[in-house]
A and B are shown apart, each in its own frame.
Chain A
Amino acid sequence: MKDDQQPISRKAFMEELERYRKGSVTRRHFLGVTGLGTAMAVMGGSLPRMARAQDIGNRVVLATWPNYHDPADFDAFTDKTGAYTQVNVFGSNEEMLAKIQAGGSGWDVFVPTNYAIPTYVDAGLIEPLDLSKIPNYDPASYDPRFAEAGTIDGTVYGVPKNWGTTGIAFNSSKTGGVVDSWKTFFDGARDQFDGRVMVHDYQLTTIGNALVYHGFSFNSVDPAELAKAEELLIDVKPHLYAISSDYQPSMRNGDAWLTMCWTGDGKQMNTDMPEIGFALGKEGGEIWSDYYAIPKDAPHKDAAYALINFLLDPEVNAREALAHGYPVADARTNALLPQELLDDPIIYPAAEALSPLEFGAAVTLTDPNRAELMARFKSA
């Protein structure tokens, strides 16, 4: 138990490091895993516990995102079922897809984002869920907006975990106020914020927000629109501080003033440094929803169902939300959360701020043109 309180064990840290070196995880992931207090570890006791009434084996493998769980919940799961949870953390859906596509991932549960699910379904890599094994999932209590992407052609492949947005984090003491539009973001990058702006090392959000700047859809794959986005990005590039999804350190030490930012990061920075704010682009941007799902070749399917069901228990889910700071779509869970969390404009933005946002589309994940555009941008 003592060890499990630690954000990450030495061994796990070295393993992560090794993986990072080999390039299988991104910087964001590495820092996420190793840096912060709520980080992942290889969870649970090493000893198989007593056999429980329902024997699900002693192990379940979870592939998820950094800073996305409360380690104590995995211990609770082990106490309850005898199965310990082995956690693998990833930096992007593309990376996760690459691993499953390569085969033999050994994962039992993974956490795809809405736009990735159709690809998994098309490729036959994802298991249709038997909802009778997930009694804690009550579709009626979920905001359908964050649940519908888990169902394709009437078959449920994923049940909602959390949702969030991709907005703008700004250091108000340097920017002189709130930055809440992609127009200011990209124009300011070439002007008053020259050398102080960061964009993600991620095609979906970087290209998507450049498209939004021009008034196009976040998800566009139209060549003419992509060309305009590329023009913008290449023009901005010499003025950028960095192209990196690991923006927290640079924001925190004041080198960067403005960055594309995911909800949870925005909340974390804002909590520690109130002058760093988080806003959604008023022209639009990304809203996303993550789902629990089971790969077709999952070796411990019973354990997978048990883990998903456990994590969706409203009490557990609330504890998770308190730990990672991402909003939940489950009304039962929200009822257990403190009011100030529900009122936090970063975590639960006003409905009108959300309305221009778009869910990422499946096509952006696999469109080769966007990938090439990103490569040209980075090497320009």
Chain B
Amino acid sequence: MERAASMHVRPEETVAEFVGATKRYGEVLAADRIDLRIRRGEFLSFLGPSGCGKTTALRMLAGFETPTDGTVLIDGQDVSAVPAHRRPVNMVFQHYALFPHMTVEENVGYGLRQRRPRLSRREIGDKVAKALATVRLDAFGPRRIWEMSGGQQQRVALARAIVNEPKILLLDEPMAALDAKLRGEMQRELLDLQRQLGITFVLVTHDQEEALAMSDRICIMGKGRIAQIGSPQELYDRPATRYVADFVGKANILSARIVARAGGTAQAVLGNGAAVTVADAPGDARGEAEIAVRPEALSLAPSGEAPGPGVAAVAATVTHRTFLGDHTEYLLDAPGVGALQVNVPRQAERVPGGHGMGASVHVIWPEGAGLVLAAG
């Protein structure tokens, strides 16, 4: 997706920062020495499986958790000991956590009513109306929460948070409860909203597609630590570790012997003796390493065809094929190498109708496709 929102990003400005932030529950390390600067106006996602520490990170930012070690700063102020109700951030909760005993507008105006000195009733009314208009719920103010659909409740939760003009809007799996279609719509609306408000959004999600689609930067978490931070493209193209490569998109991960490295590339010899040229991991000097290659970076040729020059070919047999309209997913067995997945766009099929089950093929590995993964 085109990231027009990137225009707002002023990389030099930091709105919040984790410095060695650690959260320990007894024996369990929920967050382990997190160091992270969140840039003003960016859309940052914490991505990872459950228990990876992403929610703990968000909750430390919101003020629901106090770091056991390290600090959390917002706008340069150490807020580690500041309780949630005094932090200039607002959250959209996973199940919205709307107040069931209040109407929609009472929910939205709740944060404004907590301000001291008090805001005037009129001012609150205006802001609430504006927030409801922003989430396209203009006429729903007097409704009860239980009269609203899931998607509408989601918008109420959003309005309730943004009406306070927080420095950072925190979103805790906000779309987990929505069905796939609504989720797509909501994602677009959130992006529009962020563009419109210019507020920093921090999203927690376990859904890599959601993270890829929406984020300026993604912070991939694993076992309480940050595994890698980067733009979606960086993470996809240059996963630093097997964990990241595995988590973001699909990847073939193979063991290889590195026989030569120069100028940021490495010569790797696969288990069957085939030599491929891949991007090297900086500062790496290992002789044995794992390499990763995306399924769409490879292609297939009938085994009779000779591979072109500068292109490595790995002999394999088709074990499964799944036709997916614009492309076909092939699962292959390559003797000496193992299982491989190759996605072939429809226009790029070399055999009319694609390769059949059991067909002997060459997996074509273009020079520079794939990379050496860092250890760990």
Question: In the complex they form, do A and B come into direct contact, defined as C-beta atoms under 8 angstroms apart?
Answer: no
Contacts from A to B (Cβ < 8 Å): none
Contacts from B to A (Cβ < 8 Å): none
